[in-house]
Amino acid sequence: MKWVFIFLLGIFIFSCNSNNISQVEKDDESLPAEPQKKDSAIDALNDKGHNVSGCYWKVLQRDTFVLHLEESGNDLTGRLTFNNFEKDKSSGKVRGKIEGDIVKLWYSFQSEGTQSVMEVYFKKEGDHLLRGFGPVDVSGDSAYFKNKNGVDYKNDQTYTRVDCSILPSKYQ
């Protein structure tokens, strides 16, 4: 089980590090071509605090990543979906905290019938969350960052806040 998880994690990291970003292929009509920004009232709220409640997404070629977050104080809950084209998909629950501008989550998901847990970090920048990457260790069914202070936040891994109602139904 550990090797399957490491293999899946390697495939995921490889697919996420591609710099060839393009428009979603027209054969998937269910995805809007461009995410729409949320309204200015929510913009104003976010500028005053670290409110990260809402929906975020990233489209990388034909892969789609969607994050739903609900914030209560510094506690976060929600769902995360990695919809990889022609690769293993995963979807599951997230739980975590926000510390300053860093969203620290534990992602519990099932992929190919195996239950796994992965630590996922994001850095909040305005209406965007930048996904964090770094060396990981694996213990049992869980992958976690070796050096939590050395996480690198990638601009090419930016999730954009969108109005949840514009997301295709399979992501709602």
Q: Going along the chain, which residue ranges are E strands?
A: 54-60, 63-72, 75-83, 90-99, 102-111, 114-125, 128-133, 136-139, 142-145, 152-162
pLDDT in tens, 52-79: 999 999 988 888 999 999 999 889 999 9
pLDDT in tens, 16-33: 443 333 333 333 344 444
Mean local confidence (pLDDT), 132-158: 93
Q: Answer whether 66's CB lies under 8 Å from 80's CB.
A: yes
At 81, the amino acid letter reads T
Give me the torsion for CA of 34, 9, 129, 61, rounded to 10°: -20
Q: What percent of the chain has pLDDT over 70?
A: 71
pLDDT in tens, 33-50: 434 444 433 443 344 456
pLDDT at 113: 82
Q: Answer whether 81's CB lies under 8 Å from 90's CB.
A: yes
Look up tokens 């976010």; give the residue. Answer: 46
* Cβ-based burial of 56 (10 A; exposed 0-12, middle 13-18, buried ≥19): buried
pTM attached to this predicted model:
0.70
Buried b (16+ CB within 10 A) or exposed e, 2-34: eeebeebbeebeebbeeeeeeebeeeeeebeee
Token readout for 109 is 């998901």
Mean local confidence (pLDDT), 111-135: 93
